[in-house]
Structure 1
Amino acid sequence: MPDPLHALVYQLKRTRSLIVVREQRPKQICQVTLEKFMSFGLGSSAFGNTITCLGCANGAGKGSNHRACPNVGTLCCTACNLVKYCSDYCQKQHWSRHRLVCEHPLLNPDWQPAWIGEARKPTFLIHLSYRPPSQRPVESLWGNIPGFDCLQLKFNEGLDPRRNFKLCFPASGDIRDLVKTVNGLPKDYLGQCDILLNDIDAVTMNRNLAVLVALLGPGPSLDESAEVATHLMYSSGLTENTSTYVRRCLYQIYGNGSGDGDILFRSSPTIRGQGKIYAMQTSIGTKRPMEMFFSDLDAEKTNASRKDVLLDPMHEDERHRMFSDLKPEHRIAFMRFWETGILAPFALDASVFSRHNPLLFSPQGEWLGRKDANPLRGWDIPAVLQSGAKHGTEPADIFGCLFFHVKDELREFARRMKDFQINLHLTQFDARVLSKGLSVGVLNAFNGPIFDRVQLSNLLDIIGVRGCLVDWGPLINRENKHSSIVAYSANWHHGRSDATAKDNPRLMEILSKKCLASPDLQVRLGTIFDQGMHSPALIRLIESLDAFVDHEASFLDYLQEHEADFGLNKANLQVRKYHKVHPKRFGIPLAFPRQKLPNLLKEEFYNYFVLGNLQYSSRFVEFEGAGQTSSQENRGDRRARFA
């Protein structure tokens, strides 16, 4: 640990340099506030300071002590665009190490996957019947779709600051939808908002609880709390100070565990502001999360476990398949994130993250993520890039941009939770059991049909269309004409060979006919076919076809085949013709509900579907009380009811 004198000198130098740079770059946020001098030391830098703007990448520093340069980076490395320096001097001093990045083969625009150079079939097309347990991901740590505001007030109730809301997330997964929804409330919100956040998985529910308590608990500044929560969600390691603080938060939640014989475990940790957090779950459900959270694991062991999954040689072709779609600088950014496990600007010294993150590892030290870990999936990439630019980060450093974006979103969420009357109720039950419990008044805060929104996530794929409607339809607030149920399905097309383009058995025949019918297309596709059937460009072409195919009719057939009519009649609901919470598919603005296909520029397509890894065929559906849509919208045949 640095001594206090060195820390004070460093802080004064850093403050002076930030003030100068702020005058030079007025659009770049470099906050120098009193709270930085009252710090708990929970930031990501070597001295525990939070990161508010991009620093100079020179880790060698100046002078005989070789400390990292404390200045802000303003000069971008034009070869990779991943790092910035404060001066030519620092850039030259750092070159001996940075050249490993600038000269990396993945940065070569002509890079090709290994299976192309070796002229073989890629292994991801070969069925692997066995994978050792240590290499099998236990669960998905991060969601597959971007979080969204489930209120969308400007399209629904309007921006009345005094309106009360009750919201339900029966299969929450993580807190992104919660954060986006709270951040979408009016800035002068004066009403009361009660939010039910449930997940059947005990580890997921308790992970959300731990992140919220670390973010909203009193003590650290909002900036520090937001940075801690960002790492808790996405980084496999924590700094020494952060680890100690998180352990304190966990003791506040769980204490010594539930009492003997108690069926339910309840907790109401202290948070800033007027609102409350209430957590209720089965006592037996806390066993595995507590084993994880209070484990004392070696960081080297946990890092090795994570790398065993992410950098497994058996899955090199799958990584190369992903890299073939990416820009060269983003290939390097992904490799850096996978190697360090830390969500931070590219040049940040990751060695200070010397403790493991107990929320992301099993009690045995196994990393709980997937082999293609990509936290970008869960966020709006254009917004991520905007946040990065605001803090001085280039688009090439995509995970640096994501760090600043997540931190900004969490900080704003924490501020609103402090200033607004918002109560969070976390539960851990099966969604079907929860709906029945709510119907008979198990939770005092949610009695009767009172929810203004129910965000079902992917429950359509788990309990079916009919089950979702029968269970949750009776619980929406009939006094609010804007009340709705929102859900999506990623698997609706499974078993339907004609539902999507890439699953069509006649796909290659159709492509060949299109190619022959258009000389211009024949020339362009001819280059792709030159590398054979396993060309990365051909694989990318086939996978992207569904972004430009309207499969709404097939999705409506899917709803009907899964007894949507029965569920709608039973719950007195109807399908919305024009969505008011989330577009029917990705790439279409909510403001254009009649649009059927994405209309994206090349860069937008790359951001949404390559970096964000959105699924082209995923479909959203919204249900509302019967009779709430105008008669003109409801005219037509039976299928129009689902349009």
Structure 2
Amino acid sequence: MAAKSWYYAVLAGFRKLRHHVDDKVESLESLMSFGMGSAPHDGGTVSHLMCGNSTNARSCPERGLNICPHCRLIKYCSEKCKTQHWPKHRSACTHPYLSDHWQPSWVTEGRDPAFLYPSNLVTLFRPTIDFWGDLPAMDCLQLPSNEGNNLEPLPDLKLCFAASGDLRNLIRTVNSLPWDYTGSGPSIEEAAELAVHLMYSAALPAASAEYLNRCINFIYASGGEFEADLSFRRCLDTRGEGKVYSVQPSAGLKRPLEMFHSNYTLAAALQSMKDTTLAPDRLDFREKYFAGLKPAHRMAFQRFRESGILAPFSLNTSNFTQPNRLLFSSQGTWMVPEDANALFGWDVGVQNSGVKHGTSPEDILGCLFFHAKDELREFARRVKELRIDIHLTSFEPAILAKGITVGALPAFEDASFDRILTSNLVDSVGLRACLADWGPLLNRENQYACILMQTKAWHTRQPYTDWGPHAMKVLEQKCNQVPGLDVKMKTVFAQGHRSPALFRIVESLEAFHDNESAFQDYLSDQNTEESAAAFDLQLRSTHRVHPKRFGIPLNAPRWQKLPDLSSNEFYDLFTIGGANLPVRFLEFESVGTTD
């Protein structure tokens, strides 16, 4: 769950019957210690929003009930606690980011923003960073639209996440299964909270850091016992019926150990983080994103950039005393890109999860903390109750596919997957190569089986589909010619190429542009129909797993080509959710399968 640097693929098989494993099963649970939560001093878990009155010495243990009316980012149990905490809270509560009238520095200073310099234009209009994911996690089974719509009992299902950088899609898929599971011990609660910090936080409590160190040593410092066993018979207990199997190429074993045997301090690590997250020469880039946010959300993101800890805004993090070595190099250098955004990997349910645990929608990253924790906890419950086997490898996708095909990995000698997710491999290797690798591994006995692809780069290869910076001048000229343009819009265009609102408009144009014709030209250039037919596959005309583009429901009528969203829905999905507007999704199925 922690870092993605040393694995590329996750292979998961859902089984109804337990396999017999002759080798001794070793359990990570035997290493589990307690007191690994986020609560200061006692290491308890944070299951609800606590009172924001805290110092390094103590924190009020009561629930936060009464919200600060100005910032709406912090709650207190009483007026007394609010008054006591005001000297500490004042700087955040009166920060300029919380003003409705805040403007980016380039506007107030009357200069051109740095991202308009020629060398930065690609970064401005085509961000490529996806360290924490830049697409919301998805359910890749969608059983109600597929196998679940039959009266037959559900079959055993095998899934292949062929180019996965993390486990979010696997988690979302497992949590979307139609069966209800109940009951969880405290270790699930603590494990879920630890996993949230392992994924997103720059620092950890001491007990969590020690537990992580023991896990890394257990997996990687045993003389490479997982390395040579391509049969996947060495495994880790998952507390339930399933197992986690792992095979690691020798080249991948050194790096995790090097990361954990380094001696940099927390202070040095956090300084390296801030050199990236608060870099002065990237201020315009940060404020460009902030300009599209609601005031409280700006402040929440600023706090995360300063602290590096994903937690409710009011949480006392004084017990986070150890660097999270999964997010730093062995020299203590922060490895997360400046524009990586933890919120971009989850769906709009984030705010609902936060409210359920007592936080406010304004504390958007506090909401994300509770949402990710809920997802991880539910995943742990289901892994405990359901037979789920997970196989992790570090092989490049093409090598992995060939290895499975020729039988080099005996655990997959009968590999015929019901879903194969290839992420955006099509952008790097081409559509035909992608189908050649994974088409032979699709389960042809399952009429719902499919290969899912996504392309982020298709529009850069087609003429007249790129809303680059030149569009700003064209848009400005056209709109100024419209009679009766309201005062607000005239103000926007009066700022010209320095207008934050104009940048948001240009970046949103793709959502209101029917690019279906251009996308069909791209598919034609890729020889999609012929390439698919060469492997007895066909492109689905009606999707069953994921909509063809963001903002359109899966069950939308065929004539709907554009998102139909309210302003709040648009903000949740594209602004704070980060759904990439130009991304298009493809689903391939066996020839002869009908919609």
- TM interval, short-chain normalised: 0.7 to 0.9
How far apart, CA to CA, are the structure 1 residues paired with 2:500 and 2:369?
Answer: 30
Q: CA deviation at 1:596?
A: 1.2
The residue that corresponds to 2:280 in the other structure is 313
- Counterpart of 1:123 (choices 104, 111, 114) is 114
Aligned length: 551
The residue that corresponds to 1:564 in the other structure is 528
- Give SS of 2:218's match: helix
Are 1:615 and 2:574 an aligned pair? no
How far apart, CA to CA, are the structure 2 residues paired with 1:103 and 1:289?
Answer: 42
The residue that corresponds to 2:501 in the other structure is 537
How far apart, CA to CA, are the structure 2 residues paired with 1:390 and 1:404?
Answer: 9
- Give SS of 1:461's match: helix
How far apart, CA to CA, are the structure 2 residues paired with 1:259 and 1:106?
Answer: 52
The residue that corresponds to 1:386 in the other structure is 352
Deviations 1:469-490 (A, max 9, x none): 1211121111000000111111
The residue that corresponds to 2:329 in the other structure is 362
The residue that corresponds to 1:600 in the other structure is 565
The residue that corresponds to 1:53 in the other structure is 48
- Percent identical pairs in the alignment equals 49
Contact 1:60 1:93 in 2 (8 A): no
How far apart, CA to CA, are the structure 1 residues paired with 2:479 and 2:153?
Answer: 55
Residue 143 of structure 2 aligns with an amino acid whose one-letter code is L
The residue that corresponds to 2:78 in the other structure is 87
Contact 2:204 2:324 in 1 (8 A): yes
Q: Structure 1 residues 403 and 620, CA, compared in 2 at 3 Å: closer, same or farther? A: same
Q: CA deviation at 1:499?
A: 1.8
Deviations 1:285-321 (A, max 9, x none): 2222321244343111111111111100011110111
The residue that corresponds to 2:238 in the other structure is 271
Matches within 5 A, 1:161-560: 162-187=154-179, 221-258=187-224, 268-381=235-348, 383-448=349-414, 450-500=416-466, 502-503=467-468, 508-509=473-474, 512-513=477-478, 515-516=480-481, 518-521=482-485, 523-560=487-524
Q: CA deviation at 1:616?
A: 1.1
The gaps in structure 2 that reach 5 residues or longer are 1-31, 121-126
The residue that corresponds to 1:109 in the other structure is 100
The residue that corresponds to 1:638 in the other structure is none
Deviations 1:183-219 (A, max 9, x none): 1123169xxxxxxxxxxxxxxxxxxxxxxxxxxxx99
The residue that corresponds to 2:12 in the other structure is none
How far apart, CA to CA, are the structure 1 residues paired with 2:551 and 2:209?
Answer: 39
Q: Structure 1 residues 162 and 539, CA, compared in 2 at 3 Å: closer, same or farther? A: closer
Residue 119 of structure 1 aligns with an amino acid whose one-letter code is G
How far apart, CA to CA, are the structure 1 residues paired with 2:226 and 2:54?
Answer: 53
- Give SS of 2:47's match: coil
Contact 2:52 2:314 in 1 (8 A): yes
How far apart, CA to CA, are the structure 2 residues paired with 1:593 and 1:504?
Answer: 33
- Give SS of 2:318's match: helix
Residue 315 of structure 2 aligns with an amino acid whose one-letter code is L
Q: CA deviation at 1:520?
A: 4.1
- Counterpart of 1:158 (choices 148, 156, 161) is 148
Q: CA deviation at 1:444?
A: 2.5
- Give SS of 1:167's match: strand
How far apart, CA to CA, are the structure 1 residues paired with 2:571 and 2:225?
Answer: 52
How far apart, CA to CA, are the structure 2 residues paired with 1:156 and 1:440?
Answer: 30
Q: CA deviation at 1:567?
A: 1.8
Residue 353 of structure 2 aligns with an amino acid whose one-letter code is S
Structure scoring higher RCO (CA < 8 A, sep ≥ 6) equals 2
- Give SS of 2:569's match: helix
Deviations 1:238-266 (A, max 9, x none): 10011111112222212333279969797
How far apart, CA to CA, are the structure 1 residues paired with 2:360 and 2:211?
Answer: 32
The residue that corresponds to 2:138 in the other structure is 148
RMSD: 2.5
Residue 125 of structure 1 aligns with an amino acid whose one-letter code is L
How far apart, CA to CA, are the structure 2 residues paired with 1:161 and 1:233?
Answer: 36
Please report the TM-score for the alignment, with normalisation by the length of structure 2.
0.88
How far apart, CA to CA, are the structure 2 residues paired with 1:564 and 1:575?
Answer: 8
The residue that corresponds to 2:7 in the other structure is none
Q: CA deviation at 1:437?
A: 1.4
How far apart, CA to CA, are the structure 2 residues paired with 1:219 and 1:150?
Answer: 28
Contact 1:515 1:525 in 2 (8 A): no
Please report the TM-score for the alignment, with normalisation by the length of structure 1.
0.82
How far apart, CA to CA, are the structure 2 residues paired with 1:433 and 1:262?
Answer: 16
- Counterpart of 1:44 (choices 35, 38, 44) is 38
User: Which range moves more in the overlay, 44-53 or 504-513?
Assistant: 504-513
How far apart, CA to CA, are the structure 1 residues paired with 2:347 and 2:401?
Answer: 31
Are 1:68 and 2:34 an aligned pair? no
Deviations 1:436-491 (A, max 9, x none): 11111222332356110001111111111111112111211110000001111111
Q: CA deviation at 1:350?
A: 1.8
Q: CA deviation at 1:128?
A: 4.7
Contact 2:231 2:411 in 1 (8 A): no
- Give SS of 1:410's match: helix
How far apart, CA to CA, are the structure 2 residues paired with 1:324 and 1:616?
Answer: 18
How far apart, CA to CA, are the structure 2 residues paired with 1:289 and 1:250?
Answer: 7
How far apart, CA to CA, are the structure 1 residues paired with 2:180 and 2:554?
Answer: 24
Contact 1:579 1:593 in 2 (8 A): no
Residue 407 of structure 2 aligns with an amino acid whose one-letter code is G
Contact 1:263 1:283 in 2 (8 A): no
Q: CA deviation at 1:510?
A: 5.5
Contact 1:142 1:378 in 2 (8 A): yes
